[in-house]
């Protein structure tokens, strides 16, 4: 059995730390959404709509950033993305801590721009890290490397929850920024992927995003890679980030804290990522593990939406369970990275998770539409409006995800040292 090289071990540690900071910053807005918007004078009645707008700016930034960083990762190298992306989102988060120095209208506009810039920067972290680790690890152990990166990295959300509870929201943004700048120092000893360096010397097109659309078979592989991950971000972007509003609609006996909901869910996600990564390696299949998670997700969605009059212990336990069965992110991003050749791998591995994250504006727009328009404005923030809306949007995402999982090629044990042609 092949030994893991020192370069691979260093890449795993640095990518895991990078994803930790990435997740901290990515979820921090959801955790501090309510207190930060209250500081900026947003009334409770507008909290969901303004929060959805800011979240959409962040996710649109990730959508665009995923394309740009992915192309750069294949053209200029994986390491250039790891350095550039973290520098950009660290700057944006530092500036985000000072938006309350302006009048409320200006502050909200600045908040939007900074969430877009932060999202753009955050888009490069995971894909570049997963690509680098996948290319440096031995074939038979590749899943363990990506499992460690994702499983440990997701704990960043738990830390963000604790920081959000202890410190003011402005301080929480500054702490995330400082962690990002410190991470740049750790990146100095990381080696570039040998597969990329070999490709860089060949006369072959690298990082051609539009090449993904020149073949129906290649495009369908790409589309399926994206659809597999959408249900997970429905759970995060709708069920958990807006858990405060769901708690009110479902008759919770307490006021749900979205920051706590995110922390508990991501604790479950971390455990789930380790479990699914390990199980997929043991049984020799990525698809079977993902399919099992998606089927269990159907039951979790129904349990979440049809619970009534619950207390904090029940609800936060449900968030942990929701995270556990959605903990296939490590396997999901590995599937995307393994689907394509070295000349397109960073482009795909970076754009796929960010297109999934970028689906959140579509999910929130559809959710708000069905909540407000189809079931009546008078039913907004009530179970009669929110539950059917979540069933329609979440159910649709799950059905598409299951179809994609059943039809995408299995990649466990696949040799990645080839060119996409």
Highest mean pLDDT (candidates 21-30, 154-163, 309-318, 385-394)? 309-318
**pLDDT tens readout for residues 110-153:** 999 999 999 998 888 777 777 778 777 887 787 788 888 888 88
- pLDDT tens per residue across span 3-57: 777 778 888 888 888 888 888 988 788 888 889 999 999 888 888 788 888 888 9
Q: How far apart are CA 127 and CA 125, in angstroms?
A: 6
Joined together, the tokens standing for residue 397 give 């995402």
pLDDT score, position 376:
46
Q: Where are the domains of the chain?
A: 7-189+212-407
Whole-number average pLDDT of the chain: 85
pLDDT confidence bin for 392, thresholds 50/70/90: very high
How far apart (Å, rounded) are the C-alpha atoms in residues 79 and 73? 8
Listed residue (401, 394, 403) closest to 304, CA to CA:
394
Give the pLDDT score at 374. Answer: 52
* CATH class of residue range 7-189+212-407: mainly alpha
What pLDDT does 378 receive? 38
pLDDT in tens, 341-354: 877 887 888 888 88
Confidence at residue 380, expressed as pLDDT on a 0 to 100 scale: 44
| Whole-number Å distance between alpha carbons of 149 and 100 | 35
Q: In terms of pTM, does the model score above 0.85? A: no
Identity of the highest mean pLDDT range in 84-98, 126-140, 362-376:
84-98
3-class secondary structure for the chain?
CCCCCHHHHHHHHHHHHHHHHHHHHHHHHHHHHHHHHHHCCCCHHHHHHHHHHHHHHHHHHHHHHHHHHHHHHHHCCHHHHHHHHHHHHHHHHHHHCCHHHCCHHHHHHHHHHHHHHHHHHHCCHHHHHHHHHHHHCCHHHHHHHHHHHHHHHCHHHHHHHHHHHHCCHHHHHHHHHHHHHHHHHHHHHCCCCHHHHHHHCCCCCCCCHHHHHCCHHHHHHHHHHHHCCHHHHHHHHHHHCCHHHHHHHCCCCCCCCHHHHHHHHHHHHHHHHHHHHHHHHHHCCCHHHHHHHHHHHHHHHHHHHCCCCCCHHHHHHHHHHHHHHCCCHHHHHHHHHHCCCHHHHHHHHHHHHHHHHHCHHHHHHHHHHHHHHHCCHHHCCCHHHHHHHHHHHHHHHHHHHHHHHHHCCCCCCCCCCCCCC
Structure tokens belonging to residue 409: 């090629």
């Amino acid at each position: 059995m092949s030994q893991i090289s020192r370069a691979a071990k260093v890449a795993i540690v640095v990518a895991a730390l990078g994803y930790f900071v990435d997740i901290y910053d990515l979820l921090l807005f959801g955790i501090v959404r309510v207190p930060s918007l209250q500081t900026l004078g947003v009334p409770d009645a507008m909290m969901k709509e303004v929060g959805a707008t800011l979240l959409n700016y962040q996710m649109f930034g990730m959508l665009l950033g995923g394309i740009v960083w992915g192309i750069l990762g294949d053209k200029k190298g994986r390491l250039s993305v790891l350095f550039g992306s973290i520098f950009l989102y660290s700057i944006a988060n530092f500036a985000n801590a000072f938006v309350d120095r302006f009048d409320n209208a200006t502050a909200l506009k600045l908040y939007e721009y900074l969430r877009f810039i932060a999202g753009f920067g955050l888009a490069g972290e995971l894909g570049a890290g997963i690509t680098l680790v996948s290319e440096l690890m031995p074939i038979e152990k590749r899943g363990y490397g990506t499992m460690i990166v994702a499983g440990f990295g997701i704990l960043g959300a738990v830390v963000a929850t604790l920081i959000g509870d202890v410190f003011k929201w402005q301080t929480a943004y500054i702490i995330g920024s400082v962690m990002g700048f410190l991470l740049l120092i750790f990146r100095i000893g990381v080696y570039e992927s040998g597969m990329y360096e070999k490709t860089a010397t060949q006369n072959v097109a690298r990082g051609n995003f539009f090449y993904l659309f020149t073949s129906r078979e290649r495009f369908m592989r790409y589309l399926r890679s994206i659809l597999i991950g959408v249900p997970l971000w429905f759970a995060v972007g709708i069920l958990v980030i807006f858990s405060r509003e769901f708690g009110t609609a479902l008759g919770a006996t307490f006021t749900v804290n979205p920051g706590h909901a995110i922390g508990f869910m991501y604790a479950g996600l971390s455990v789930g990522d380790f479990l699914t990564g390990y199980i997929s390696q043991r049984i020799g299949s990525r698809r079977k593990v993902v399919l099992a998670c998606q089927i269990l997700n159907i039951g979790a969605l129904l349990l979440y939406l049809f619970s009534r009059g619950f207390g904090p212990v029940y609800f936060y336990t449900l968030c942990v369970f929701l995270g556990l069965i959605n903990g296939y992110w490590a396997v999901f991003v590995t599937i995307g990275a393994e689907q394509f050749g070295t000349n397109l791998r960073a482009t795909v591995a970076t754009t796929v998770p960010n297109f999934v994250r970028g689906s959140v504006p579509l999910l929130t727009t559809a959710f708000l539409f069905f909540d407000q328009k189809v079931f009546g404005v008078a039913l907004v923030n009530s179970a009669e409006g929110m539950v059917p809306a979540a069933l329609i949007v979440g159910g649709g995402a799950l059905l598409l995800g299951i179809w994609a999982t059943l039809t995408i090629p299995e990649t466990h044990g696949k040799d990645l040292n080839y060119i996409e042609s």
